[in-house]
Structure 1
């Protein structure tokens, strides 16, 4: 979607600058359509806009991804690293949009930006995909294919050599210690050092219960959920999106993120289902299958699920700050709990 920004972007000026950028490469015979918001089921962290490029009568659709004007959910938007990550993963058979171009020169549209081809398909909403929408209404075979290709994408990702992406290291290194430090610093920044007591308790719990031994790290998506994927009509995953949170951690970080966000979605909708759709694996089936794909046992998954919800809660807190700063005080996310009930029970239990 368009993202949440503190400053409204001038789309007319952005379109004009983008046309000039393409004209420098293709000559004056270029046309740019109106910029429109990308799929509203996708992430909130960047401004993602869709447009049609016409060069000498031939038209193609593209997406431009821009850091939010005036600041956004993250303190830093490393678009070069995102481009490097997407191209690396595409070369390893992961369906990231490619080719992707990083333009660091801010003079064109007032900001650096990413350009990539648009992938057309279905993007399930991670808030409601089990109760309505394309995936809910699809037949069992399509649901099964969507589930399987998502799992296969994760497994393929976790086999990419970690030393091929040194730019994904956090300032403190790689692994869960560095990741914990990064997120603790993040929530302090995100809330202007007004961190709720509950979030402080959650981080203290994570430190006290941190696994003694951690598996070898993998390249992790960091935001592995269905709303960051595009599927064709058959359920095939044709686009893996939003790599801003990519990191180097045990594969458990991604598996737990998906499991925890599934659980969160069920809680929000008052459902008690396992699996949540007829074509999906149950939790136990998924864990058995992923153990086979990964070639080792998944370890300390409950801890990683709590960590997943704490990370999600940090982003919710920052989103609430931005919504209030932009006058959107009635937005449903301003009333959203920062942690789901089951996570609070674990942390305070």
Structure 2
């Protein structure tokens, strides 16, 4: 999707200025195609547009990532940090898009922006991959490859030395406490201070039950789910996308986010399955396998899964506010529950 923004961008003007930007970097004749949405399965937070560039008869496809005009889901869009994260991780064998071109000067298109090569493949939808679409129809072997490729990508990510990504520290530092504080402040910002009582209750529960014993820290994706990955026809990951929520936390934060979003998808579709696809591991089996890959037991998974859904709820609240502000009050997401039923029950206990 092209993102949710308070101000609609003039795509024709952006295309012209983007052509000028490419022309400034080459001696050849440059043509830029029309800009169109890059991914309709995900991509709510930034404006992500795909286009082709032809230079001296040679064409290549790119994606431009732009902070939403007028404001968006997040209070700040630090593209320089995203570039540094993706370049670091690419060097450790994680399939982030490369090479990247970052332009910090807003004079070109009215905003800083990031250009990266387009990766062609399949992106499962968060809400329906277990009921229809490419992954559902691909068969057990491809499902198994996609599942394992995703699991191995997480394991590879969580082994990258955290000291090499100091820019990912939150204002209060690194780890669970600063991350929880950041999200509490985020929901205040995202709701203009009108935090629903349910979310205040959820944050109070998380604070009371926050894990106390030390856990190894890792570079975390922050949004580790299938819709942020691109798969080839065999099920291998060829693109790992959307690193704007990257942080330094225990690996449990990423792994539980994946578990919780899988559970959320099943609840949305009224399904009672474990696993949700025949080529996937059950919850117990994937936990066992990831502990082997990580080399230690996973701790406090229930807390981290609840934290995952509270973080998701914060983003839902902000998305709903943006939809209403842009005249889309009838959008289905404005009627979406802030938290799934199982999370509501947990934080009320």
Q: For the Cα contact (< 8 Å) 1:81–1:168, is it kept in 2?
A: yes
1:239 paired residue number = 239
Q: For the Cα contact (< 8 Å) 2:28–2:56, is it kept in 1?
A: no
Q: For the Cα contact (< 8 Å) 2:5–2:322, is it kept in 1?
A: yes
1:157 paired residue number = 157
Deviation at 1:28, TM superposition (A): 5.0
1:46 paired residue number = 46
1:79 paired residue number = 79
Distance in 1 separating the partners of 2:134 and 2:80: 33
Distance in 2 separating the partners of 1:195 and 1:139: 44
2:118 paired residue number = 118
Deviation at 1:102, TM superposition (A): 1.0
1:267 paired residue number = 267
Structure 1 residues 34-43 or 290-299, which shifts more?
34-43
Deviation at 1:176, TM superposition (A): 0.4
1:70 paired residue number = 70
Deviation at 1:43, TM superposition (A): 2.1
1:140 paired residue number = 140
Secondary structure in 1 aligned to 2:124?
Answer: coil
1:279 paired residue number = 279
Q: For the Cα contact (< 8 Å) 2:94–2:153, is it kept in 1?
A: yes
Distance in 1 separating the partners of 2:136 and 2:202: 33
1:330 paired residue number = 330
Secondary structure in 1 aligned to 2:337?
Answer: coil
In the alignment of these two chains, the number of paired residues is: 349
What is the correspondence of 1:203-222 to structure 2 with a 5 Å cutoff? 203-222=203-222
2:190 paired residue number = 190
Secondary structure in 1 aligned to 2:343?
Answer: helix
Deviations along 1:38-94, one digit per CA (max 9) or x if unpaired, are 111122100000000101000000000000000000000000000000000000000
5+ residue gaps, structure 2? none
Distance in 2 separating the partners of 1:54 and 1:91: 28
Secondary structure in 1 aligned to 2:302?
Answer: helix
TM-score, normalised on structure 1? 0.99
Secondary structure in 2 aligned to 1:111?
Answer: coil
Deviations along 1:11-57, one digit per CA (max 9) or x if unpaired, are 01100110000001113501000000011112210000000010100
* Residues 239 and 7 of structure 1, relative CA distance in 2, 3 Å threshold: same
Deviations along 1:127-177, one digit per CA (max 9) or x if unpaired, are 110000000001100000000000000000000000000000000000000
Secondary structure in 2 aligned to 1:12?
Answer: helix
Deviations along 1:239-278, one digit per CA (max 9) or x if unpaired, are 0000000000000000000000000000000000000000
Q: For the Cα contact (< 8 Å) 1:101–1:116, is it kept in 2?
A: yes
Q: For the Cα contact (< 8 Å) 1:206–1:307, is it kept in 2?
A: yes
Distance in 2 separating the partners of 1:306 and 1:225: 16
1:167 paired residue number = 167
Runs of 4 or more, structure 1, over 2 Å off, are: none
1:55 paired residue number = 55
TM-score, normalised on structure 2? 0.99
RMSD: 0.5
Distance in 2 separating the partners of 1:28 and 1:288: 55
